[in-house]
Structure 1
Amino acid sequence: VMMTTDGTYDCPADGSVCRHGLVISRTVTANAESSPKALARQDIEDAADDAYDVDLVGNKPFGGIESHEEVAAGPVAVAGRAGYYVRWRVKTAEGPGGYV
């Protein structure tokens, strides 16, 4: 499931279209891991790359990820089930960076 905010702006690195907010919820698929914590920790890097590194058509709207810092992590309930979240602050080559 993907949700976005209204409105767009020119991406800082390549002038393509960016949105101020994007939320993607993924379900577990073929994976031997069943721990919500392990799954969240495995998924965060892919989520950061999807949001701030190379987009689906090969552009780097923010010039790529330069670094990240974990700012929060912990257990959470998702639809009444045990889950886990990890939050990164991402620094990009251009623009303000953001959170994943």
Structure 2
Amino acid sequence: MLFAFSVAPMTTGEDGSVHDAVAAAVKVVRESGLPHETTSMFTTIEGDWDECMDVIKRATDAVRAFGSRVSLVVKADIRPGHDSGEIQGKVDRLEKAIAESE
């Protein structure tokens, strides 16, 4: 399963940024050992339901230290039979489809 999530405090620092809070969340993800990828908008993790939801909860808890209100957005790709390598596998299949259509 893939889970893409974005978590941030509802209030921001003096410069309007939430990077310190997001860094705390990404640290939790990295320490989890799950395959992951962080982009400017989301962090994607790969694993089973329970382990991914645990990481998302702990990452959210880490952000709670930066404000009393937190925003969490989660999108999941639940695809039986595709248990690992899908962070890159989905991109590879997309790139192949684009190349074949040219």
TM-score, reference length from structure 1? 0.33
Higher helix share: 2
Higher CA-based Rg: 2
Higher strand share: 1
TM-score, reference length from structure 2? 0.32
